[in-house]
Structure 1
C-alpha cells in the first residue's frame, strides 16, 4: 500500500463519525434494492407455489391427442415433463344420500400426473395399473358403497347429457334438475371393473357443487391403441412468453384441435399472452424500479456529497506535500473502494435479514387467516444480488469521482482554506425583512445559515424529496395493484347460495338457522328496464352498450335495472353500513333505493377491464321502471324509484351489473310496493349465507332440501379470491413499511450528519451569546424550512410519477385517477415530525460539547 492510500485509511479512521455515517448510508441503499428485489421475487414464488398446491403444476394442455401426437409432444424440445390425463366419465351411485352428488367422477393420470397434481392419499396406495382405482373418502359417508380396499367394483361409466344441450356436462357444471328431480341422464355407457387400492382426500380442484365424487385411476400409455385419446399436460423446460406461439404451432403441425394454458400459474411467472397486461407489467416495473434505483443512488450520493468539503480539505493537504492530480483522484477512489467493500456485503445481508424477519412475522398470520398451505420463503436470485451490488458500485464511483475531479482542479491553499466551498456576498444570504418581523431574529439567522451552507442544505432537501417520492410512489403503486386485483377477481362475498325456479321466502328461512351459519340474507331479485337520456350515459360507455333502435323510447336508450329486495334485518344493516337511515328509504309515498354507483366490465375491443359510473345520476333523481313482454315486445311502466343514496358498497349476495346495468338495493317491503302481481311471478328468490364450516352446512342443507333447489357452495372460489387479496395486502403493507423505514433512516442519517458537520458553527453562535432557547428556536425554524421546501418539490414530482403509473395501469385496467389524499396528508405531517425529531436527536447529542474544545476540533 503506497503512502497516499495509507494516509487515506488514516484519514478515515480519524474521521470516524463521517466514515461511519457514509458506510451506514451505503448499507441502507444496498439493503433497499436488495430487499425490494427479494420481496418481489419471493412474493411471486409464493403465488406460484400456492397455485401449484391448489391446481397442480402444469403449463400447457393439449386435449384429445392420440399416441402419435403424444410422441410428438414428448419429443418437443420445450417439453420437460409429460403428464397424461383423461376424464373417463361418470358412474351412478346406489342410493346416494346427497341428491346433488349422485355420481362417481372417474379421472385417470399416469404416474407423473400423481406427482404433479395435488392428490393426497389417506389410506392404501395410488393406482399402478389401469384396472385399479382410488375413491374419495367422502363417498363412504354419502352413498351405500360397501366396497373396501382390495374389493372389486363394476361401474357403468358414461357422459352427462341433456336434451337441447350439445356438449356433455363437466365437473364444473352442477347437477341439472327440475321440479321432478334430475333432468340429465348418463349416455354412451360402458362397463368397467376396478380394484379399489386406496382412498384419497377430496381434491382441492374439485368444485364444491360438482355432482360427482372424484375417483382416480391409472392411464397406461403402452396399452393405448390408435383410436384412444387422452389429454397431454405439459410442464415446460423454460417458461417464457413465446410458449403461447410455440404451443399453437406444435398443435397445428400435429393436427391437435384444442390447446389450453394454465393462465393463473403462468401469470405468476410474469408470462401472459395479453399484450395490454404485459405492457402494463413492463411499464409499472420500469417506473417503480426507476424510482427505487434513483432513491438508492441518492442515498449513496448524499452519504458522500454531504462531506465533500471535508474530503476536499484532506486532498488539499495531500497536494501541499507533493501529491499529483492522479494521486488525489486515486486516493478518493481508494476511499470509495474501502467504503464499498465494507458496506455492500453488509447491505446485501441486511436486506436479506430484513426480509427474512418480516416473513417470519407474517407467515403465521397468512397460514392462520385463510388456511393457506404455502408460506412465504426468502428467495434470493443471483440477478437481485448483482443488481444491488452493481448499482452501489457505479454510484460510489460517481460519488467519488465528482469531488476528486473538483479537488484536483483547485490549488492546495484554496483546498485547505476551503474558500471554494463558501463564496458569500450580501445578495447570497439576503433574507426578507418580513421573516424577522414575523418570526424573529432566530428565524432570520436560521435561514441565513441555510443559504450560507447551500450545498449541505440542498443535499438535505434532496434527501427529503427522494423520501417523499419513494413513499408516495410505492404507496400509490401498491394500492392500485390491489385495486386491479379486486377488479379482476369475482368479488364473491358469500359462501353458499340456494336458489330455485319457484322458491318462496318461507322455503328458505329454515336454512338460516342451521348450525355454523354466521350470516344470512334472503334476496328477491327482479330484472326490469329503464330508459335514459344520452347525456346521462357516462363518457366512454356509449360504445360498449348494445343500442337497439327498436328499443328506443322517446329518444332514450334502454338500460337493465335490477331490483334487489333485502329482508328487513339485512336492509337495515346495509343502510347503516352506507351511512343512511333505513326508515327514510322506506316511505310508501316516496319509495327510494340505494344505487350501486360503479360498474366494471371488460371492453371487447381493447380487452381492458374498465370501471366507470353506471349512470350520471344525482341523489333525489327519480328512475322509471318498465317491464317488457318479450313475446309481444310490449313495454309497460311499473313505477318510479327515487335514488336515495349512491354507494360502491355491495350487500352480501349482490354482484355488480355490467355496462348498461343499474343495481337498486331496496327493502323487501319497498320492492313489494313498487311492483304489481303481474310481474311478481318474475321475482327470483335466493338465500345467501356465510358459514364457519361451509361443507358441513352444505351437507345439512342437502339432507332436507327440495329436489328443484340449487345449492352453490362457492367457498373455495371465495377463499381463492380472499387469499389473493390477502397476499396483495401483505405485499402492499410490507412494501410500504419497508420503504417508510428506509426513508426515515435516510432522513435521520442525512440531517444528523449535516448537524454533526456544523458543530463548530453552532459553537461560534453560542460563543457570541445565543441562548439555548434562541438556539432551539433557530433549529425549529430550520426544520420548518427543510420540510416546506421538501414538500414544495416532493409532492408535485410524486403526483407526476403517480399519473405515469396510472397511465400504465390504463393499458389493462381503466378507472378514474384519484389522488391518495390520506397518503399526502400523512406525508406532510410525517415530514415535519421526522425532520423535527432528527433535529432534536442531533442537537441533544451536541449539548454536552464544550464550546472551546469544539472550536478547536478539526475532525468530526
Structure 2
C-alpha cells in the first residue's frame, strides 16, 4: 500500500530494475568522465611541474641579477613573494685539466636548488659541499659521499651529487655548491619564489620596475605550468577543453535520463488523470533523479579513482624509478565540483520531461502519441521497398524519421563522444609536436670531442673511431662531425666507468672533452614517458567512457521499444528481419552521429589551433587519423550495442510485451 505519492519514485525504480541500472550507468559514466578528466589534468600539471623542476634543477620563478639594499627590502616585504634566497659565485679553482666553480647559497636558495641533487643531500654548513660527479676524479680519485677532500687549501665534506650538466662538461668547469649564512649588500643575485595565490604578471612587472627589465631572468616554462593564466593561449585552450567536458557531461546525463522519463509519459498522464498536480509530478521525478544521483555519484568517483590508480600502476611498471614522480593526486575540490555538476545535470535533465509531462493533456499522455507525429505520405518512385531485402532498411529509416526526439537524444551521445575523442587526440598531437616535447629528445649516451690543436692528431679520426668501437661497453659509434663522436652504450648505468675507460685509452693521445649524458637522458626519458602515459591513458579512458556511453544510450533506446517491437513480430515480421531492422537503425545512428561528431570535432580542433597559434608555430591540418578511428569505432560500437538487447527481445514473450504498460 502506498501512503504517499512520493513513494512512487522508489517503487518505480525497484519495479524497473533493468531500466534503472541503465540510467544509473549513464550517471556513473558522467561523473566518471568529468572527475577523471579533472584529476588527469591536475595530475598532469603537477607531474609536469615536478619534472620541469628536476630537469632544470631549481624551483625559483625569477632571478634578480644585480641588486642593492633597497631592492632587497622591497622583495622581502612583498606579500606576493613567498620566499627569496641569495646565491653568489666565487672563484674558479683549477683541478688538473678541469676547473671547479665555487657557488654559495643561503638556506632559502638551497631550498630552491634541492631539485639539482641526484644523490645524497644539500650542504647544511660551509664545510659541506655538493659537486658535479664528473669533476670528482679531477679533485680526488675514488671519492664517495661522506669522504673529505681538500680544495683551495680548505677541507670539505662531500654530502651530495649535483645533476650532470652538458654545459659544464663541455667547458670542463664543474660546479661546487656550499652553504653561506650571510651575504654583504649587493653580493650575488636574488632567487625569487612567487606565491601560488599571487598574480604572476603583476609580480614580474613589479620586479622589472624596481630593478630594470634587463636585470631579471624569468623561468617562463615553470610559470606557464604553475599558472596557465600567465599565458592567454594556454588559458584559452583550457577554457575550451573544460567547456567541452562540462557540456559532454550534461548531455550524457540528459540522454540517460531523458529516454527513461519520456518512455513514462503515459504513466505521468495516468497520474494526472487521477488528480496528481503538476507540482507532484515534478516532485516524483525529482525525487527519483536525486535518489539515482546519490547512488551513482559515489560509484562514479570510485571508478574515476580506480582508472587513475590503474594508470599509476602502469606508469610504475614502465618507469625505472616509479617513486620519482607520482601522477596519482586526489584533489577533493575536483571531486566535489564533479559531484555538484553531475547532481545539477541530473536535476536539470529531469526537470524538462517532468515539466513537459505536467503541462500536456492527460488524454494525449495516456494515448502515448506525444512522441509520434503524423507524417505526410508521399508516393515514392523507384522506392527501395520494392526490393524484398530493403524492407528492414526502409523500416529502420522510417523509425528514425518517425521519432525525431529519440533520434536526437541517441545521436547526441555519439556526437559528443566523437567530439571528445577528436578534440583530445588533436590536443595530444599538438603537445607531442611542440618545442617543449622536442626538448625531451634523448641525446647519445656519451659525446667525445677532440680539442687537440695538433693537425696530425686531428687527421686521425678513423683511428679514434676504431678505438671507441673496441671498448667493451660501447655498442655503436657515430661521427657526428669532424672529430666529434657520439656513442650508444650497452649498459647506461656503467656510463661513469666507460668515461674513465675512454680517458685512459683516447685521452692519453689526444686532448678530449667527454660529455656523459646519462643523467640528463634519464630525466628526459622519465618526463617524456610521463607525458606519453598520461596522454595515451587519458585518451584510453575517454574512449572507454565514450564507448560505454554509446552502448548504454542505444541499449536504452531499444529496450524502451519492446512493446513496439513485439507488435511488429505479432503481425508477421520474422526475427531475422527484426534483427536487420534494429541493426540498420543502430548503424544509421552511428553513421549520422559520427559524421556530425567529426564535423564539430574538426571545428573545435581548429578553434583550439587559433587559440594556441601564437604560442606554437605550426599549421592546422584535418586530424584524418582521429576522424577515421572515430567513424569506424562509432559503427562498430553501434553494431555491438544492439546484440545484447536483441538476445533479450528474442527471449521475451510477445503477448506479455504487448500488454506491458
User: Could you state the TM-score of these two structures normalised by the residue count of structure 1?
Assistant: 0.69
Q: Distance in 1 between matches of 2:142 and 2:25?
A: 71
2:223, 2:307 → 1: CA distance? 29
* 1:44 Cα deviation after fit: 1.0
Q: Quote how far apart the aligned CAs of 1:245 are.
A: 4.3
Give, in whole Å, the separation in 2 of the partners of 1:251 and 1:76: 14
2: distance between equivalents of 1:750 and 1:38?
A: 25
Task: Give the match for residue 88 of structure 1.
Answer: 90
How far apart are 1:105 and its partner, in Å?
Answer: 2.6
**1:471 counterpart residue number:** 421
Answering whether residue 322 of structure 2 is matched by residue 521 of structure 1, we say no
The equivalent of 1:29 in structure 2 is 30
Q: Quick one: distance in 1 between partners of 2:27 and 2:246?
A: 13
Contact kept, 8 Å, 2:437 with 2:528, in 1: the verdict is: no
Task: Return the alpha-carbon distance in structure 2 between the equivalents of residues 513 and 272 of structure 1.
Answer: 54
> How far did 1:822 drift?
2.5
Q: Which structure has the larger Rg over C-alpha atoms? A: 1
What displacement does 1:318 show? 1.7
1:69 Cα deviation from its structure 2 partner: 4.3
Residue number in structure 2 paired with 1:752: 555
- Paired position in structure 2 for 1:283: 236
Q: Which has the higher helix share?
A: 2
Query: Using a 3 Å threshold, how does the CA distance of structure 1 residues 725 and 427 change in structure 2: closer, same or farther?
Result: farther
How far apart, CA to CA, are the structure 2 residues paired with 1:20 and 1:333?
Answer: 17
1:366-387, Cα deviation, whole Å (9 max, x unpaired): x22xx57623232233442343
Correspondence list, 1:95-114, <5 A:
96=96, 99=97, 102-114=98-110
- Per-residue deviation, residues 467-492 of structure 1 (Å, max 9, x unmatched): 22221121112112211246752746
Structure 1 residue aligned with 2:175 = 214
Distance 1:721 1:272 in 2: 26
SS at match of 1:4: coil
More strand by share: 1
What are the superposed Cα offsets for residues 74-102 of structure 1, whole Å, 9 maximum, x if unpaired? 23222322322222132122xx4xx4xx2
Aligned counterparts, 1:268-307, within 5 A: 268-271=225-228, 278-307=231-260
Check if 1:702 corresponds to 2:503.
yes
The 1:125/1:202 distance shift into structure 2, 3 A limit, reads: closer
* C-alpha distance in structure 1 between counterparts of 2:300 and 2:475, whole Å: 49
The answer to whether 1:732 aligns with 2:535 is yes
Shift of the alpha carbon at 1:293?
1.9
The CA deviation string for residues 24-83 of structure 1, in whole angstroms up to 9 with x for no partner, is 111101110000010010111112222334413222222244566444422322232232
Matching residue of 1:47: 48
Q: Residues of 2 paired with 1:421 and 1:355: CA distance?
A: 41
Partner secondary structure for residue 434 of structure 2: helix
- Structure 1 residue 775 and structure 2 residue 578: aligned? yes
How far did 1:521 drift?
2.0
Q: After TM superposition, give the deviation of residue 809 of structure 1 in Å.
A: 2.9
Q: Which runs of 5+ in 2 are unaligned?
A: none
* Residues 1:752 and 1:255: Cα distance change in structure 2 (over 3 Å): closer
Alpha-carbon spacing, 1:790–1:383, altered in 2? closer, same or farther (3 Å): same
Aligned partner (choices 56, 60, 63) of residue 61 of structure 1: 63
Mean alpha-carbon deviation: is it higher for 829-838 or for 760-769?
760-769
Counterpart of 1:236 (choices 180, 194, 218) is 194
CA contact (8 A) 1:127 1:197 kept: no
Shift, 1:772, TM fit: 2.5
CA–CA distance in structure 2, aligned partners of residues 127 and 264 of structure 1? 29
Kept after mapping to 1: 8 A contact 2:128/2:158:
no
**1:604-629, Cα deviation, whole Å (9 max, x unpaired):** xxxxxxxxxxxxxxxxxxxxxxxxxx
Q: What TM-score results when the alignment is normalised by the length of structure 2?
A: 0.88
In structure 2, the residue matched to 1:668 is none
Cα distance change, pair 196–214 in 1 and its aligned pair in 2 (3 A): same
C-alpha deviation, 1:244, in angstroms: 4.5
Q: Distance in 1 between matches of 2:292 and 2:147?
A: 71
Q: 1:196 aligns with which of 142, 156, 165?
A: 156
The answer as to whether partners of 2:61 and 2:222 remain within 8 angstroms in 1 is yes
Q: Retained in 1: the 8 A contact 2:110–2:122? A: no
What RMSD, in angstroms, separates the aligned Cα atoms of the two structures? 3.2
Deviation at 1:507, TM superposition (A): 4.3
Question: Does structure 1 residue 511 correspond to structure 2 residue 468?
Answer: yes
Q: CA deviation at 1:404?
A: 1.8
CA distance in 1, matches of 2:84, 2:379: 76
Matches within 5 A, 1:217-616: 217-221=178-182, 224-226=183-185, 229-238=187-196, 240=198, 242-250=199-207, 252-253=209-210, 258-271=215-228, 278-365=231-318, 367-368=319-320, 371=321, 374-425=324-375, 427=377, 433-434=383-384, 436-437=386-387, 439-485=389-435, 489=439, 491=441, 493-500=443-450, 503-504=458-459, 505-509=461-465, 510-524=467-481
Alignment CA distance shift 1:248-1:762 (3 Å): closer
Given the superposition, is the C-alpha separation of residues 108 and 310 from structure 1 closer, same or farther in structure 2, using an over 3 Å criterion?
same
Matched-pair contact (CA < 8 Å) for 1:344–1:389? yes
How far off is 1:313 after superposition?
Answer: 1.9
C-alpha distance in 1 between matches for 2:215 and 2:560: 71
**Conserved in 2, the CA contact under 8 Å of 1:473 and 1:798?**
yes
What's the CA shift for 1:707?
A: 4.7
Secondary structure, aligned partner of 1:209: helix
Please give the alpha-carbon distance, in whole angstroms, between the structure 1 residues aligned to 2:188 and 2:368.
Answer: 82
2 CA distance for matches of 1:41 and 1:482? 19
What is the aligned length? 644
CA contact (8 A) 2:440 2:527 kept: no
Query: Secondary structure of 1:769's partner?
Result: coil
**TM-superposed deviation, 1:741:** 0.3
> CA contact under 8 A between 2:261 and 2:350: conserved in structure 1?
no
Aligned ranges for residues 645-684 of structure 1 at < 5 Å? 684=482
SS in 1 for 2:177: strand
